[in-house]
Amino acid sequence: MHTFSRSAAHLVLSVGTLASLPALAVDELHYNQISLRAEVSHEVARDLMIVTLYTEEQNADPAKLAADVSTTMNKALAQAKQVKEVTLRQGSRNSYPIYDTKGQKITGWRERAELRLESSDFAALSKLTGELLTDLKMGGMDFAIATPTRKASEDALLKEAVGAFKARAQLATDALGGKSYKIVNLNLNTSGYPQPYMRAPMMMKAASMDSAPVTPEVEAGTSQVSMTADGAIEVLMP
């Protein structure tokens, strides 16, 4: 799950030659400044699965309602804690009044509580999700790039982006007939790392109370991430 494949690097070169400094001596060195841009990219697997489950109930007695919701959530939390591959993050919990048709009198209360589960072990989290769907409802399923995978891909992209920039710098130097170059400035920027995206709940198969738990089928996919190296060099002319 933590591997990523390398795609072709896309390199862009823009050259702007500045006027040489006035000659102060016959053997004075003349510099030209060149702006360069290099971009490299990888396909990186979304290797972190994020599931949001919830319970929502209604009752005229707010105390009874809160107790029922707590009972349901405590049962789910206890069950989820048994799966060591899954990280639990208790989500939001809120309640609000229900009014009569005239909107003046409170006739009841509705409360919703969420449970957020994260794991790089898709099989374990899918199985747990199917089991929890007997008592909870599916709020959504997200996929993201785990922090260690992101760091590893960024490190690899950085090395490649700098190498691509230096290759372009040498190519520009040779094209101008220069002797050598030096880097004036260099900026590195990444893009394409996705925010978790939500799959619609209706795409998930919830288990009914009288049927066996259904394990959701998942396919995380990949994201194309890239790093650009923008900067400027000075070319030493003969």
Query: Which CATH number belongs to the domain containing residue 139 in this structure?
Result: 3.30.70.2970
103 and 132 assigned to the same domain: yes
Q: What's the structural domain count of the chain?
A: 2
Contacts of 220 (CB under 8 A, 6+ apart): 45, 46, 47, 49, 122, 143
> Would residue 97 count as lying in a domain?
yes
Give the residue among 149, 168, 172, 150 at the shortest CA–CA distance from 160. 168
pLDDT digits (tens, 9 = 90+) for 191-231: 877 655 445 443 444 444 344 555 656 667 788 899 999 99
Summarised one tens digit per residue, pLDDT across range 123-135 is 999 999 999 999 9
Average pLDDT, integer, range 47-61: 95
Mean pLDDT of the chain: 82
Asked if residue 211 is part of any domain, the answer here is no
pTM over 0.75: no
Task: Tell whether 139 and 74 lie within a shared domain.
Answer: yes
Question: Do 128 and 154 reside in the same domain of the chain?
Answer: no
Identify the domain containing residue 138 by its residue range: 48-144
Rg of the chain, C-alpha, whole Å: 29
